[in-house]
Structure 1
Amino acid sequence: MRTLNEMEINGPIETVFDYARRIDLWPERLEHYRKVRVLEGDLETRGVVEMAAHRQFERMNWPVWWISTMEVDREAGRIRYRHIRGVTKGMEVEWRLVQDGPSRTHVSIIHEWKQPPIGRRMAGGFIGHVFVHHIADQTLAGLKLATESRLEAAVNG
């Protein structure tokens, strides 16, 4: 299973990277995140993190959670996760941030799950598209709104 989500965010890469890296603030910034806890390490270089969100359907929110290792490579503009607990155990996630103009950043999130324990068809079709891709789209849209709002307030403020 492989999913790709991409978005352009108006802001310098340093600012956008910090919004992506500071997952501890996601529950405040992103309405679909329920909690994020750093279990070991830190958010500057590497750690183990617990994340919980919900996938919004028409009339209900389906809770999801996972525990991941997290590696931050600021110079390369990369943040990597490996899910080590939860339904998506073994999933590899990479955030790639690239400066795209003087004040715009291209962000992509790639999820790869080579050996899902619950079957490739269910993982790719249902979990991949219905849950992973949708939640990643919400995350990018929320980070775009939070980052651009903050930058606009700083300019006008």
Structure 2
Amino acid sequence: MYTRNEITINCDKETAFRYARQVENWPALLPHYRGVQFEQGGSDRGGLVMMRAVRPFKPFKWPVWWVSEMKVDEQLCSVYYKHVRGVTAGMEVEWLIEALDEKEPVKVTIIHRWLQPPLGRRLAADMIGEVFVYAIADRTLQGLKQRIEEHGNEQDIQEEVG
């Protein structure tokens, strides 16, 4: 299974990276996130993080969760995850942030790869990818774009959620 979500955000690379890595703030910023807690580490250096979200289907919201090993690459302004628990265990996720111009805008790409899902989930992997993974990643990018562009490049994410 492979999905790719992309969006262009009117901000500098560092602002997009700050919002992408500070996942513990996402429940306050993104209505589809129910909770994000680090079991080990933190957003500054990465660690083991549990994420809980919902995938809306009218008239209800389907709850989903996963635990990932998160790694942060300061030089590349990238965030990497490997799902270690949950339905999507083994999935690899890569957040790439690229400057399109010298300062603004930036392109943010999320790539999900689930090359060897557990045997019982192989038949459902494409459906999980399209119906859940792609849809949740798209909501995440759209929500972060809206927050960043509404609050400006200089807005400190901690001030916004606090």
Query: Smaller-chain TM-score range?
Result: over 0.9
Q: What is the aligned partner in structure 2 of residue 32 from structure 1?
A: 32
Q: What is the aligned partner in structure 2 of residue 146 from structure 1?
A: 147
Structure 2: gaps of 5 or more residues: 156-162
User: 1:45 offset after TM fit, Å?
Assistant: 1.5
Q: What is the aligned partner in structure 2 of residue 120 from structure 1?
A: 122
- What are the within-5 Å matches in structure 2 for residues 77-96 of structure 1? 77-96=77-96
Structure 1: gaps of 5 or more residues: none
Alignment identity in percent?
A: 46
After superposition, the CA RMSD in angstroms is 1.3
TM-score in terms of structure 2 length: 0.91
TM-score in terms of structure 1 length: 0.94
Q: Once the two structures are superposed, what CA deviation does each residue of 1:16-74 show, in whole Å capped at 9, x if it has no partner? A: 11011110000000000000001101211220000000001110100000000000002
Q: What is the aligned partner in structure 1 of residue 97 from structure 2?
A: 97
* Secondary structure class of the residue paired with 1:14: helix
Give the ranges of 4+ consecutive aligned residues of structure 1 lying more than 4 Å apart after TM superposition.
none
Q: What is the aligned partner in structure 2 of residue 58 from structure 1?
A: 58
Q: Once the two structures are superposed, what CA deviation does each residue of 1:70-92 show, in whole Å capped at 9, x if it has no partner? A: 00002112100000000000000
User: 1:138 offset after TM fit, Å?
Assistant: 0.2
* Secondary structure class of the residue paired with 2:31: coil
- What are the within-5 Å matches in structure 2 for residues 13-28 of structure 1? 13-28=13-28
